[in-house]
A and B are shown apart, each in its own frame.
Chain A
Amino acid sequence: DAKTTQPTSMDCAEGRAANLPCNHSTISGNEYVYWYRQIHSQGPQYIIHGLKNNETNEMASLIITEDRKSSTLILPHATLRDTAVYYCIAVGYGNKLVFGAGTILRVKS
C-alpha cells in the first residue's frame, strides 16, 4: 500500500471550510484514497473515499488531482465536533487499512 503524507496539525475557525491535504505520490492505479477520522477515545469513523473522480457526500468532499498524487478533504462548514485526527489512507485490494499519524484538526470558536 502506498505511503501517505499529511501535515501534523491544522487549525480552522468554526463555520469556515477545513481543507486537509494529503500527498500520495506513489499511489498505484488500483488503490483508492480513503479518509477516516478519530474523535478522542472513539473508534475511527469512515468519511469518504475515491479512486479518480472527485466525490461528495453529506460529510465532506474529496478532491483528487488528475495525476492522483495528492488529494484534499474538504469539510465545508467545520464545527467544534469536527475536532479530531483525520487519516488519509491508500487502500488496495488487500483491504487492510494502514494508518499513518494523521492530521490533528482543531476547530476553534
Chain B
Amino acid sequence: DTGVSQDPRHKITKRGQNVTFRCDPISEHNRLYWYRQTLGQGPEFLTYFQNEAQLEKSRLLSDRFSAERPKGSFSTLEIQRTEQGDSAMYLCASSFGRFGPNEQFFGPGTRLTVL
C-alpha cells in the first residue's frame, strides 16, 4: 500500500534561490491539495487540483508560488526567489471523489529552511 509520497523530505536553500517540491498522490486519487504549516500552527491551505485542473488557489499565495499537475497524477510546487518567511513544512494530500468533501490522505511533508 503506497501512500502519498513527497520529495525531498528536507530542503535547505539560500534566500533568493528557487525550489521545487514533488508530490505523488495515491494512484487512483483525482484530487490533490497543497498545504503549508509553520511551527506551532495548523496547516494552511495553498491550492487544490481536480485531475489536472487547478480549481482553487489561496489568496495568501503570492505570485512567487506556482503549482502544476500536468497529467493529473503527480504535482510540483515551485517557489521562486525564496524568502526566509517561506520556511515551513509543505504538505501534500490527495483524495478521491467527484462532489462534496472527502477524506484526505497526507504525505510526510517537505521541510523547507531558507537561510
Task: Please report A residues at the B interface, Cβ cutoff 8 Å.
Answer: 32, 34, 42-46, 49, 85, 87, 91-102
Contact = CB atoms under 8 A, between A and B. Distances in A.
Contacts, number: 58
B106 to A, nearest CB: 3
Closest 9 CB pairs of A and B: A99-B42, A43-B106, A91-B101, A96-B45, A46-B103, A99-B43, A44-B106, A43-B91, A95-B101
B65 interface: no
Interface of B: 4, 31, 33, 35, 41-45, 48, 56, 91, 93, 95, 99-109
Contact of A44 (B91, B100, B101): B91
Contact of B108 (A42, A49, A91, A100): A42
A104 B95 CA distance: 26
A43 B48 contact: no
Contacts of B33: 95-97
Given A95-B102, A96-B56, 13 more contacts: A32-B100, A42-B108, A42-B109, A43-B4, A43-B93, A43-B106, A45-B106, A49-B103, A93-B100, A97-B35, A97-B43, A99-B43, A102-B42
